[in-house]
Structure 1
Amino acid sequence: MLTDITLGQYFPGNSVLHSLDPRMKIIGTLIFIVSVFFAASPLSYVLVAAFIILSYGLSKLPLSCMYKSLRPLWAIILFTMAVHVFTTPGEPLWQYGFIKITGAGIYQGVFMTLRLAYLIVFSALLTYTTSPIALTDGIERLLNPFKRFGVPAHELAMMMTIAMRFIPTLLEETDRIIKAQTARGANFVSGNLWQRGKNMVPLLVPLFISAFRRADELATAMEARCYRGGEGRTRLHKLKYTWRDGAALVCVLLMTTVLAVMRWAL
Structure 2
Amino acid sequence: MTNLILGRFIPGNSFIHQLDPRSKLLSMFLFIIIIFWANNVITNFLTFLFTLSLIFLSGIKISFFIKGLRPMIGLILFTTLFQILFTQSGQTVFQLWMIRITNGGLNQAALIFMRFVLIIIFSTLLTLTTTPLSLADAVESLLRPLKPLKVPVHEIGLMLSLSLRFVPTLMDDTTRIMNAQKARGVDFGEGSLIQKIKSVIPILIPLFASSFKRADALATAMEARGYQGGEGRSKYRKLQWTYKDSLSLIVICILGLLLFFLKNR
TM-score range relative to shorter protein: over 0.9
Structure 1 length as normaliser, TM-score?
0.96
Residue 161 of structure 2 is aligned to residue 161 of structure 1: yes
Q: Deviations over 1:215-253 (max 9, x none)?
A: 111111111111111111112221111111111111111
2:118 is equivalent to residue 111 of structure 1: no
User: Residue 249 of structure 2 aligns with which residue?
Assistant: 249
For the residues of structure 1 that align with 2:200 and 2:65, how far apart are their CA atoms? 29
Counterpart residue number, 2:261: 261
Q: 1:8 aligns to what SS in structure 2?
A: coil
How is 1:42-121 mapped onto 2 (pairs within 5 angstroms)?
Answer: 42-89=41-88, 90-121=90-121
Once the two structures are superposed, what CA deviation does each residue of 1:97-140 show, in whole Å capped at 9, x if it has no partner?
A: 21111122111111111111111111111111110111111000
Aligned residues between the structures: 264
Deviation at 1:70, TM superposition (A): 2.0
Q: Does 1:5 align with 2:9?
A: no
User: What CA distance in whole angstroms lies between the structure 2 residues aligned with 1:69 and 1:126?
Assistant: 13
CA distance in 2, matches of 1:98, 1:20: 52
- Paired position in structure 1 for 2:131: 131
CA contact (8 A) 1:69 1:120 kept: no
* Residue matched to 2:25: 26
Query: What is the rounded CA distance, in whole Å, between the counterparts of 1:12 and 1:37 in structure 2?
Result: 31
Per the normalisation by structure 2, the TM-score is: 0.96
Where do 5+ consecutive residues of structure 1 fail to align?
none
Structure 2 portions without partners, runs of 5+: none
**CA deviations over 1:75-105 (Å, ceiling 9, x no partner):** 2201111111111113322222211111221
Q: How far apart in 1 are the matches of 2:236 and 2:120?
A: 32
* In structure 2, distance between residues paired with 1:214 and 1:205: 14
Q: Deviations over 1:6-30 (max 9, x none)?
A: 1221111111111111111100111
**CA distance in 2: counterparts of 1:29 and 1:247, whole angstroms:** 14
The residue type paired with residue 29 of structure 2 is: L
Query: What value does the CA root-mean-square deviation take over the aligned residues?
Result: 1.2
Question: Which residue is equivalent to 1:213?
Answer: 213
Instruction: Work out the percentage of aligned pairs sharing the same amino acid.
Output: 41
CA deviation map 1:36-59 (0-9, x unaligned): 011111011011011001001111
Separation in structure 2 between the aligned mates of residue 238 and residue 153 of structure 1, nearest angstrom? 17
The residue that corresponds to 2:152 in the other structure is: 152
